[in-house]
Amino acid sequence: MTGTNPFETLAGAYDAWFDAHPQVFESELEAVRAVLPERAGAWVEIGVGTGRFASHLGIETGIEPVAAMAALARRRGVRVLAGTAENVPLEGSSVQAAFVITTLCFVRDVDRSFSEIRRILVRGGTVVVAFLPRESALGRRILEDGGGDPFFREARLLFTAEVLAAMTRTGLRVERIVQTLTNPAGDERVEAPSEGFDRGSFVVVRGSVPWSGMKGSTQS
C-alpha cells in the first residue's frame, strides 16, 4: 500500500464494521463453517486481521503484518505472528488447515501466497479461501466506488476463475465451493450458504494438498 496504511490507523473502525453489520458477518461465518474440515492438528489464518473469524472458528494462530490489527486479534485470544501471505513464518508441513478470509485482494503475489500455503500444509491438509469475487454484485460495486473506501482503495479483487486457477497451478485440489450474500443490497438477514459461485458476493473455496503430490483440478 502507498502512503498511510488505513489498516494501521483505522483498525478500530474496520473492526467496528462487523458490529454494525452482524447479519452480514454471520452469513459469511456460516459459509466458512459449511466447509470446515474435521478438527485435527494446527489451524492458522493468514491475514487474520482483528481476529473476528479466527476467534469464532477456533483458529488458534494468525499471521498478520499490521500491528494495530494484530493487537485486536490478540485481545480475542488469537496467537499472532508477524508475517505476510507471501512469507509465512511457519515450518513446512506443520499445519493441518490454513484459512485465507477476505485477504487475497490485498496480497501482492497470489501464486506465491498459495505456494506458501501448500508448503506449510501437511499432505492431505485443508485450505479454506473466502473472498469477494470481482464478478459479483458487491465486487462490481466496490470497483465502482471503492476509491471512497479507505480499506478497498487499493484492493485488487479477483474473479473466481482466477482464484481457482491459481490454486490449481500451485498444486492445490479444489474440493467444494459455497456462496452467500446473494442479495447484498436486500434485506438484512442471515443467509444460509448454498453450493456454487454463480450468485454470491462472498464465496468460500475448500481445497487440499493431494496425498499423491499431484496437482489438483477445479470443480464448480
Look at residue 217 and tell me if it is in a domain: no
> Could you tell me the residue range of the domain that residue 182 belongs to?
6-208
Grid coordinates of 37:
474440515
The answer to whether position 158 is within a domain reads: yes
Determine the Cα–Cα distance for residues 88 and 108; give it in Å rounded to an integer.
14
- State how many domains the chain has: 1
Residue 134 lies in a domain: yes
Read off the pLDDT band of 27 (50, 70, 90): very high
pLDDT 10s digits, 132-166 = 999 999 899 888 875 567 888 778 999 999 999 99
- The arithmetic mean of pLDDT across residues 186-206, rounded, is 91
Question: Is residue 144 assigned to a domain?
Answer: yes
- pLDDT grade for 219, boundaries at 50, 70 and 90: very low
Averaged pLDDT for residues 205-218: 72
Residue 215 covered by a domain: no
CATH number for the domain spanning 113: value is 3.40.50.150
Q: Calculate the alpha carbon distances from 206 to 31, 101, 107, 121, 126 in Å.
A: 11, 12, 19, 14, 7
22 in a structural domain: yes
What is the share, in percent, of the chain residues with pLDDT greater than 70?
92
Say what the pTM is.
0.91
Q: What is the mean pLDDT of the chain?
A: 91
Q: Does residue 218 belong to any structural domain of this protein?
A: no
For residue 220, being part of any structural domain is answered with no
Residue 115 has pLDDT above 80, yes or no: yes
Report the range of poorest mean pLDDT among 77-86, 140-149, 176-185, 193-202.
140-149
